[in-house]
Amino acid sequence: MNPQPSAPKIHLSNTAEFRESYANSVQVRVSLWDFYLMFGRITQSSPDAVAIQNFQGIFLSPQQAKALSNVLNQNIQQYEAAFGEIKLEPHPAGPVIQ
């Protein structure tokens, strides 16, 4: 009987280029070889003017994109179990009146 190998020790570190930021916009592009996630911030100065300032683009392999999807889904389920359902903003059919 072969003994089970122990799990490797994982050491996390940040590179000099590491930055932490807030994104309220994520655009996704897909090709045969990869997924491209572009992160940005949305600002709205008036009901008919929206600006998105993109600040980071990340390429992921299809396998890593699926793994990310699984991790996000697990964490969303845990969040909603603890804090309640996350509701997405409704998209009005007509123009927004404020």
Residue 67 lies in a domain: yes
* Span 28-76, pLDDT tens digits: 999 999 999 999 999 998 889 999 999 999 999 999 999 999 999 999 9
pTM to 2 decimals?
0.74
Residue 8 lies in a domain: no
Give the pLDDT of residue 90: 72
Residue 2 lies in a domain: no
| Number of domains making up the chain | 1
Residues forming beta bridges with residue 46, ordered by sequence position? 49
Q: What is the 3-state secondary structure (H, E, C) of the chain?
A: CCCCCCCCCCCCCCCCCCCCCCCCEEEEEECCCCEEEEEEEEEEEECCEEEEEEEEEEEECHHHHHHHHHHHHHHHHHHHHHHCCCCCCCCCCCCCCC
